[in-house]
Amino acid sequence: MADLRPWDVVTAACSACPYFSTMPVSRLTANRPPHTLLINLQHQLVCTRCKNRTKNRLTITIVER
């Protein structure tokens, strides 16, 4: 996560329903060490709509300034 810039966009998507949510990088990196791997965070995702906990995904959109 240390490579993420504050203006990049993070999208979390549920694998069980069509729900997805975008969030600022600051929300994802809050209270986590900078060396945290995104793959480890994917395993912690819980869909707020259907409560699914399996195979949810994070995608990063790199935005040029």
37 class by beta-carbon count within 10 Å (0-12 exposed, 13-18 middle, 19+ buried)? exposed
Give domain limits for the chain: 9-61
Mention every residue, 6+ apart, whose C-beta is less than 8 A from residue 35.
1, 2
Which helix (H) or strand (E) covers residue 26, if one does? helix 25-29
The residue whose two tokens read 């600022």 is 24
**Mean model confidence pLDDT for the chain:** 91
What is this structure's pTM?
A: 0.82
What's the rounded mean pLDDT across residues 6-33?
A: 92
